Amino acid sequence: MSILATSIGTLQLARVVDNAELSDRILTAGANAARALAALSAAA
């Protein structure tokens, strides 16, 4: 559930900003966060 929430929030933030570079950075950070959450879920 937390991975889905992170992904949706990331997409919303990336779409709302006017700067393409910032949008890409937000998407990258969100993908990294989702991977970290997936790793935590797998370890549990």
Task: Give the residue among 38, 39, 35, 31 at the shortest CA–CA distance from 13.
Answer: 31
pLDDT band at 43 (very low <50, low <70, confident <90, very high): confident
The predicted model scores a pTM of: 0.88
**Cβ atoms of residues 3 and 38 within 8 Å:** yes
Q: What is the mean pLDDT of residues 19-38?
A: 97
**Structural domain containing residue 14:** 2-43
**Cβ atoms of residues 23 and 14 within 8 Å:** yes
Q: What is the mean pLDDT of residues 18-41?
A: 96
- In total, how many domains does the chain have? 1
pLDDT band at 37 (very low <50, low <70, confident <90, very high): very high
**Cβ atoms of residues 10 and 27 within 8 Å:** yes
